[in-house]
Chain A
Amino acid sequence: MLSIIACLTSCEPSNNAFASKALRKPIKIAVSNTPLSAPLFIAQQQGYFEQNNLNVELVIIEGGVECFNAMINHEVDFATSSETVVMFNSFKRTDFSVLASFVETDNDVKLLSLNPQKYKHLNNLANARIGIIKGSASEFFLDSLLIMYNKTQQPIQRVYLNSDQLLPALLNDKVDIISAWEPLSYLLSKQMSHSPEIINSRGLYHLSFNLIGLKDSPIKQDQKLALLKAINESTEFIQQHPKQAQQVISQTLEIDAQQLKYSWSDYTFRLSLSNALFSKIQTQSQWAIDNQLVPRENRVDFRLIFDRQLLETYTSQEAGW
């Protein structure tokens, strides 16, 4: 027993030496300032990167689109963004790849109204003014719902807004409904005595957050594997210590703890890269094509932007196969 401890103690300096070597070349990851990026913040805070001999610098950027752009501009090595960002960018380039998805929520985007009863089950939508962000998950979600609820024939009025205009527009009666993601639902619910959701859309739309890297990245395979390992350890920590994780995210992103708690149970933190994501991106791309958000003639082979081998190698390594 003592010899094992002695061995572990003696091994430590070499690890430190290795770590200090890694310190010279920090791996930069652009992280969107949303609780969905929790696994990366937790990995940083719990020291999982260091434990896996990685020197990681998290660059917090507003929104997944900007994170993606930072990566394309070689300002960072990796980015985190939603599958919608991936889908739109796939039409422009294929020099990046999705390495893994680390979180998913089936209840992030919602249709909100100050008078939800009126629009319950998507009734009375005729001539309703719906505030949406053009070409985003907000619009895709609305269109999906309209198809699923067979309301595509309804003459709705689409009001295109910026993300920070959605809530004021609703409150100032410029729109009747907004299609928005968290934390707008939470913020609105605080001002109302009842739930602002006009429909329980849980399970109808899945949003994921993914780790994306450039194909010609100088980051070596073993470092990428170590990165996946650190993120996986972080998701395990989140599962085992949800309260502590929320506390860390609340402090890191300066988000009210109550707000975080409101949507935390909707998140499923896990590493994956399955056909579910593939299917999601493909469905969204079809929608984008149908709505002429992307050039119709430009067909994309999404297989090119999925680096399945990395996660499969990691999974095999972890399972000891």
Chain B
Amino acid sequence: MMLSKRLKLTATLCSILTFVVGLSLVQVHNYQQQIYRQLNYSMKLQLIIDSLRSQLWLYQEYTDEQGLTELNNRQAELAAALSQNIDWDQQQKLIIQNINRLNTNVRTLINTQNNYHNPQAVQPITLAAERLFKAKYSMVIEEMTEEMFRLHQLSVTQAKTKQQTLLWLVGVILLILAILVTAWSFMTLTRFKKGLASLNSGMEALASGDLTSRIVFNDADELSALAHNFNLMKQSLTQITVKKDSLKQEVDRQTYKLIEQQERLIFLAEHDELTGIFNRRAFIKKIDNAIARDLRSDDQAALLFIDLNKFKQINDTLGHSIGDEVIVTIAQRLIKSLRSTDIAGRLGGDEFVVWLDLITEPINIDQKIEQLLNTIKKPIKIADHTLEVGASIGISILPKNGLSSRELISAADTAMYQAKAANHLDYCYYAGDHGVTILATS
């Protein structure tokens, strides 16, 4: 049941309870008024009857006009009092009727005595009649008193019965209603507490990040509707969160892909596609850094410009693929022969450049060049071919032959041409624009 309906029912029950209490109080008041009225009235009747008794006695003593008038007045007073409507019940009405009848009897006796007897005449018959009338009056008044006692008794008994019945009835009705209202209120309270507790635990679960649990409800009230909506909200929230997570994953994936591509692009931009060693631009960038560092620490370095010999012949006779493999092999051999601080690069075709960093002595350069030449000249086995290539190396020295990469490459290139021009030279140091220093012969 809906909570609003429950509360409405509680309010209705309370209203009924209030109404019944009010009605009962009014009823009790009415009953009490009726009882007071009856008792009060019967006291009045008793008083009038006593007065009538006294008057009758007086009339017997003084049978005169005044006595008769007084008696008539008392009788009329009693008759008037008896004719009043005081909410009597059937039995009480019967008693009132009887008193009325006895009052009439008194009237009949008085009339008979008055009409047929002369009070002044003292005769034996009059005395006998007086005695008889006296006895009759006494009897009637006695009976009136008896009837009055019955009226009192009946009124008290009925008042007691009525009040007890009313008390029982009102008590039972009030008790039933009160129990009903209390029980109903407790039921509503329990439902309210249970519903709120479920909602609260559901919200606490949500607050702690639990998106999977749901509030369980069996009723069909507002709290259940609230719980249902809360569950729907949680469901939507779960879906939104799932979307957000997958979106984030996708973004991460794409970002990673981009980074990968970027790295690849950077690699491609810096490395020679065939050999994987630095290309011209990257090589220049690298040696620019090395130059700056060497100049700061006042160190020497050498740049070797290597041009392979006999490569064109291989390329022309055995094809580009063999030629490419030769280039790759030479590049690998160069890399393996160099220190970690040294830098190798391919300028294109069969031209390589090597940066030998931190050269302490010129002799060290020679040894290194010899080592490199030996490595280059080693036979290369490609498929069924054993090939051999040579190299012409031009050498420029930092800072002696230049302070920039451009100057140093240019110088080394010049020296390489000079070495190539002199057939017998494997390598040649740059010696200015007008000549080269021949350092070694092949």
B285 at the interface (CB under 8 A from A): no
Residue contact B105 to A203, C-beta cutoff 8 Å = yes
Contact partner of A150 among B90, B116, B139, CB < 8 A?
Answer: B116
Chain B contacts of A268 at CB under 8 A? Answer: 98, 101
A309 at the interface (CB under 8 A from B): no
Specify the main secondary structure of chain B where it touches its partner. Answer: helix
B91 touches A148 (CB 8 A): no
Docked-complex contact A204 and B112, CB < 8 angstroms: yes
Contact bitstring A129-170, B, C-beta under 8 A = 1, else 0: 000000000000000100111111100000000000000000
On whether the beta carbons of A275 and B105 are closer than 8 Å, the reply is no
Q: Who on chain B is nearest to A273 by CB?
A: B146
Partner of A283, one of B90, B132, B172: B132
A240 contacts B91, CB within 8 Å? yes
| Chain A residues whose C-beta falls within 8 Å of the C-beta of B107 in the assembled complex | 203
Contact of B259 with A by CB under 8 A:
no
Q: For the complex, is A280 an interface residue (Cβ under 8 Å from B)?
A: yes
CB of B133 closer than 8 Å to a CB of A:
yes
* Cross-chain contact B138 with A202 (CB below 8 angstroms): no
Question: Which chain A residues in 43-62 approach chain B with CB under 8 Å?
Answer: none
Contact of A206 with B132 in the complex, beta carbons under 8 Å: no
B153 at the interface (CB under 8 A from A): yes
CB of B117 within 8 Å of the partner chain: yes
* Chain A 204-225 residues near chain B, CB threshold 8 A: 204, 206
Residues of B contacting A202 in the complex (Cβ-Cβ under 8 angstroms): 104-105, 108
Cβ of B142 and Cβ of A274 under 8 Å apart? yes
| Residue in A1, A106, A204 whose beta carbon sits within 8 Å of that of B172 in the complex | A1
Interface range for A: 20 to 34
Residues of A contacting B91 in the complex (Cβ-Cβ under 8 angstroms): 236, 239-240
Which listed residue, A104, A144, A236, touches B132 by the CB 8 Å rule? A144
Bound form: Cα–Cα A36–B153 in Å: 24
Given contacts A148-B112, A150-B117, A239-B94, contact A206 B133 (CB under 8 A): no
- Chain B nearest CB, measured from A150 CB (Å): 4
**Cβ of B275 under 8 Å from chain A:** no
Structural contact, B101 and A106, CB atoms closer than 8 A: yes
Q: Is B135 an interface residue (CB 8 A)?
A: yes
Residue of A nearest to B153 (CB): A319
CB distance from B120 to the nearest CB of A (A): 14
State whether B129 touches A150 (Cβ < 8 A). Answer: yes
Determine the chain B residues whose CB is within 8 A of the CB of A280 once the complex forms.
Answer: 135, 139
A279 within 8 A of B: yes
Interface residues of B in 16-32 (CB under 8 A from A): none
Asked if B135 and A275 make an inter-chain contact with CB atoms under 8 angstroms apart, the answer reads no
On chain A, the residues within 8 Å of B113 by CB distance are 148
**A276–B109 touching, CB < 8 Å:** no
Residues of B198-227 at the interface with A, using a CB-CB cut-off of 8 Å, are: none
Minimum CB–CB distance from B138 to chain A (whole Å) comes to 5
Docked-complex contact B146 and A272, CB < 8 angstroms: yes
What residues of chain B lie closer than 8 Å to A283, measured between beta carbons?
Answer: 132, 135-136
26 A-B pairs within 8 Å (CB atoms) are namely: A1-B172, A104-B143, A144-B132, A147-B129, A148-B129, A148-B132, A150-B116, A150-B129, A152-B125, A202-B105, A203-B101, A203-B102, A203-B105, A203-B140, A204-B112, A239-B91, A240-B91, A268-B98, A272-B146, A275-B139, A279-B138, A279-B139, A279-B142, A283-B136, A286-B131, A319-B153
